[in-house]
């Protein structure tokens, strides 16, 4: 059978009755910007993340951008970012007029290496921005310790990690603020763009509420130069429905990951490493192969969908050519980006489909040997 990399239709079919009635309720309400639906989602998602506040915004990039602005980041500042991440993490820094300062990852977890952060700090450093990549928590305790030592803030990029836990506690309130994306392919995905921030700091939450709404607390009274970045009312209502199923879907992802880990051991692929303090939610299941292109091609011929997250690291993108980073500037990130391949991973994936992927991977690796 043909196995897609991701099936976005299946969650809708599973929840069709609830989602359709929710859409009908919102349309009949006549209230389409902010309002009760957004307020309800913000309360429920804050509680889910074990945080005091949630503010919905238009998308994940805006969540990062507005969070950085709320932390006081501006032109001339520096923000420490992972060298191994999606470019949105860097773009949010640039949108503030600040400079992203890349730090290499721990090659086992793919997340920013806390041991490398301190040497990157200067008097211009304003924020450390770890990413919980692929749904695996970054090692937050040493990051927070470094930040407190130097008097700088921590913004977490949780776009791929809805429901993940670090040392038993859900991500959402470890650092100063966490930025989230609800892009349709995420573990908690809308039917369009959406984003949010969670924080325990009421002042940060208030700043972001003002920034997202034209810089205004009161209609037509603008305190600061703000933006139009509000979580859509319809998306908020649908996210409320899906939030009730997130833990179940994440459990399904864990079972798929367990089958992959068991079935793909000792065949020449590098499979994910899970620290004992991490409870990942497997937004992606990423393996590494030194013959990735051939491996991906043969999986495609076997009707198994895959994607590469991500083929080009941010420092080698044309968008950041002005920073002057050449090839080999960040060799760990470059090596990762040259070898990673994401296997099919979605909560409605069946045991038979998972077994088919494992069998195909083992067969292809056996042929390579």
pLDDT, tens only, 184-209: 999 999 999 999 999 999 999 999 99
Average pLDDT score, the chain: 97
Q: Indicate the pLDDT class of residue 365, thresholds 50, 70 and 90.
A: confident
Q: Model confidence over 19-38: pLDDT tens digits? A: 999 999 999 999 999 999 99
Contact 333, 110 (CB under 8 A): no
Q: How many CB atoms lie within 10 A of CB 245?
A: 16
At which residue do the structure tokens 């977890």 appear? Answer: 109
Alpha helices in the chain (DSSP H): 9-14, 16-29, 36-48, 60-70, 88-95, 114-117, 140-150, 202-212, 233-243, 246-263, 292-301, 331-339, 351-368
- Integer Cα distance of 177 and 225 in angstroms: 21
CA distance 48 to 71: 23
Over the stretch 325-354, which tens digit does the pLDDT of each residue have? Answer: 999 999 999 999 999 999 999 999 999 999
**What letter would DSSP give residue 135?**
G
Mean pLDDT across 211-237: 96
Nearest C-alpha neighbor of 200 from the set 167, 169, 177: 177
Its pTM surpasses 0.95: yes
Contact criterion met (CB below 8 Å) for 157 and 175: no
Rounded-to-integer distance, Cα 3 and Cα 259, Å:
16
**164 contacts 280 by C-beta, under 8 angstroms:** yes
Distances (CA, A) of 143 to 40, 89, 111, 176: 32, 17, 12, 12
Residue 298 pLDDT: 97
What is residue 286's three-state secondary structure?
A: strand
Render pLDDT for 65-78 as a digit per residue (tens, 0 to 9): 999 999 999 999 99
> What are the C-alpha distances in Å from 278 to residues 29, 143, 262, 264, 270?
42, 15, 18, 21, 19
pLDDT at 368: 58
What whole-number percentage of the chain has pLDDT above 90?
A: 97
Confidence category of residue 156, pLDDT binned at 50, 70, 90: very high
Q: Going by DSSP bridges, is the β-strand pair 99-103/125-128 parallel, antiparallel, or unpaired?
A: unpaired
Can you tell me the mean pLDDT for 88-115?
98
The answer, yes or no, to whether residue 369 has pLDDT greater than 60, is: no
Is 292 in contact with 63 (CB distance < 8 Å)? no
The reported pLDDT for the residue numbered 1 is 85
Per-residue pLDDT tens digits for 292-334: 999 999 999 999 999 999 999 999 999 999 999 999 999 999 9
Tokens 């309400």 correspond to 29
Residue 163 sits at φ, ψ, to 5 deg, of: 95, -5
The tokens for 30 are 């006549």
pLDDT number for residue 87: 98
DSSP letters spanning 318-350? GGGGGGT--TTSSHHHHHHHHHEEEEP--TT--
Task: Name the 3-class secondary structure at 103.
Answer: strand
Are 178 and 166 a contacting pair, CB within 8 Å? no
Mean pLDDT of 83-112: 98
Inter-residue contact 143 to 267 (CB < 8 Å): no
Are 123 and 30 a contacting pair, CB within 8 Å? no
How much is the average pLDDT of 36-49?
Answer: 98
Question: What is the 3 state secondary structure string of 74-102?
Answer: CCCCEEEEECCCCCHHHHHHHHCCCEEEE
Q: Is 168 left (phi over 0), alpha (psi -120 to 50) or beta?
A: left
């Amino acid at each position: 059978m043909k196995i897609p990399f991701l099936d976005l239709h299946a969650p809708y079919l599973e929840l069709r009755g609830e989602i359709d009635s929710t859409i009908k309720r919102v349309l009949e309400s006549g209230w389409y910007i902010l309002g009760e639906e957004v307020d309800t989602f913000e309360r429920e998602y804050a509680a889910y993340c074990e945080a005091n506040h949630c503010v919905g915004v238009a998308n994940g990039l805006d969540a990062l951008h507005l969070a950085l602005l709320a932390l006081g980041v501006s032109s001339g500042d520096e923000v420490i970012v992972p060298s191994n991440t999606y470019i949105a993490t860097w773009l949010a820094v640039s949108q503030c007029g600040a400079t992203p300062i890349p730090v290499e990852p721990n090659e086992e977890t793919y997340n920013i290496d806390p041991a490398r952060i301190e040497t990157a700090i200067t008097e211009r450093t304003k924020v450390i921005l770890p990413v919980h990549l692929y749904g695996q928590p970054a090692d937050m305790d040493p990051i927070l310790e470094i930040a407190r030592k130097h008097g700088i803030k921590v913004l977490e990029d949780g776009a791929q990690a809805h429901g993940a836990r670090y040392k038993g506690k859900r991500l959402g309130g470890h650092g100063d603020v966490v930025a989230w994306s609800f892009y349709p392919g995420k573990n908690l995905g809308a039917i369009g763009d959406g984003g949010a921030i969670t924080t325990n700091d009421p002042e940060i939450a208030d700043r972001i509420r003002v920034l997202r709404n034209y810089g205004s607390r009161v209609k037509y009274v603008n305190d600061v130069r703000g933006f139009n970045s509000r979580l859509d009312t319809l998306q908020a209502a649908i996210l409320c429905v899906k939030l009730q199923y997130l833990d179940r879907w994440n459990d399904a992802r864990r079972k798929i990951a367990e089958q992959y880990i068991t079935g793909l051991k000792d065949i020449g692929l590098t499979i994910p490493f899970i620290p004992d303090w991490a409870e990942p939610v497997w937004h992606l299941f990423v393996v590494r192969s030194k013959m990735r292109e051939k491996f991906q091609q043969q999986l495609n011929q076997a009707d198994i969908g895959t994607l590469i997250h991500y083929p080009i690291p941010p420092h080698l993108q044309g968008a950041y050519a002005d920073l002057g980073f050449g090839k080999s500037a960040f060799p760990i990130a470059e090596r990762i980006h040259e070898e990673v391949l994401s296997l099919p991973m979605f909560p409605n994936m069946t045991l038979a489909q998972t077994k088919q992927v494992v069998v195909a991977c083992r067969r292809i690796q056996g042929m390579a040997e």
